[in-house]
Amino acid sequence: MDKFETMLLPAYLITPMLVLETEHYTEGIVFDSMGNLYFSQTKAGNITVLAPDGEERIWASVAGANGHKIDAQGTHIVAAEKSLVKLDANGEVIEVIREVDGKALLYPNDITIDPEGGFYFTDSGDRNSEKSTGCVYYVDAVGHISQVATEIAFANGLVLTHDRKQLFVAESWRNRILVYNVLSPGNLGVKRIFAELPTKQGKQIDNQPDGICLDKMGNLYVAHYGMGQIIVLNQNGQLIRRYNSGNLTTSNCAFSNSNFNYLFVTGGIGTEDGPGGIFRLHISTNEL
């Protein structure tokens, strides 16, 4: 057993705690430098902020708000309805991107920040499961946008590794995680399969990887939509944990601080048409 695996609590010791129940299915969880938690309610078209003291308020109205990240300058970047929206710290819109080189965005889904000053985002493409029209775009530090990966069957969550040498992408329709070597910012190597994921059983209703994130050791956490689980993969793509997420239609996940003690999870408590929630899992990946 890898020494890093032994630092992760076993699944039977993890009980998801309901932090907040919401009217709608939740997505796009992210924390700012002050510890404020932001999440999207896609169908309601808004983004809510939950302060460390528990105060909750609508922060911005963004149609189809989905994935959400904050760059080093404090700019909020939100994947939205057929667009990518940039907002300032007060929730005011700075810029809206609707097309790249004359081609309209179809379904912007999630974002990962590149410390070099740019960011990557997925466009899931056509929602027809028989098609592979999903792709990944890179936006550099001066705002130039280029398509860097194609032919993905519903491109979803993505994350850049800590050393910036690899980019992971969730391919939802095929229930797997892809990986690309990063040759330079915005320049990716060939697509490879990093991991095939478990399939639904019993009362589980689907098996689609959605949002993803990394812990400090490089383990990959996958919000497994329809499974009610967070799947944990080690750096070799091996499945090492399956945590109860508290949300059947698990949509996204994010660690709350640099210590990686608490993983926060979004999704729907029942189906995507019902209420949503924010759950907290005490992962405790710190070395003792």
Average pLDDT, integer, range 266-286: 83
pLDDT at 158 over 80: yes
Domain of 55? 5-282
Report if residue 231 sits inside a domain.
yes
Structure tokens at 160: 């850049």
Report if residue 227 sits inside a domain.
yes
Report if residue 119 sits inside a domain.
yes
Average pLDDT, integer, range 97-119: 96
Chain segment 28-57, per-residue pLDDT in tens: 999 999 999 999 998 899 999 999 999 999
Report if residue 287 sits inside a domain.
no
Q: Give me the CATH number covering residue 173.
A: 2.120.10.30
Report if residue 187 sits inside a domain.
yes
**Residue 287: what pLDDT?**
46
Show Cβ contacts of residue 175 under 8 Å, excluding neighbours closer than 6 positions: 196, 197, 199, 207, 208, 209
CB 182 within 8 A of CB 164: yes
Which residue, 26, 39, 32, is CA-closest to 89?
32
Chain segment 217-257, per-residue pLDDT in tens: 999 999 999 999 999 999 999 999 999 999 999 999 999 87
Q: Is 249 helix (H, G, I), strand (E, B) or coil?
A: strand
Average pLDDT, integer, range 260-277: 86
Average pLDDT, integer, range 109-120: 96
Work out how many domains the chain is built from and give that number. 1
Report if residue 212 sits inside a domain.
yes
Min mean pLDDT across 40-44, 55-59, 73-77, 165-169 is at: 40-44
**Residue 5: what pLDDT?**
54
Q: How confident is the model at residue 272 (pLDDT cuts 50, 70, 90)?
A: low
Q: How confident is the model at residue 286 (pLDDT cuts 50, 70, 90)?
A: low
Report if residue 246 sits inside a domain.
yes
The region that residue 171 occupies, defined by phi over 0 for left and psi between -120 and 50 for alpha, beta otherwise, is beta
Average pLDDT, integer, range 12-17: 94
Q: How confident is the model at residue 288 (pLDDT cuts 50, 70, 90)?
A: very low
Chain segment 186-208, per-residue pLDDT in tens: 999 999 999 999 999 999 999 99
Instruction: For the chain, give the DSSP string.
Output: --TTGGGSPPGGG---EEEEEESS--EEEEE-TT--EEEEETTTTEEEEE-TTS-EEEEEE-TT---EEE-TT--EEEEETTEEEEE-TTS-EEEEE-EETTEEP--EEEEEE-TTS-EEEEE---S-TT---EEEEEE-TT--EEEEEEEESSEEEEEE-TTSSEEEEEEGGGTEEEEEEEEETTEE---EEEEEPPPP-TT----EEEEEEE-TT--EEEEEETTTEEEEE-TTS-EEEEEE-S-TEEEEEEESSTT--EEEEEEESSSTTS-EEEEEEE---S--
Q: How confident is the model at residue 126 (pLDDT cuts 50, 70, 90)?
A: confident
Report if residue 288 sits inside a domain.
no
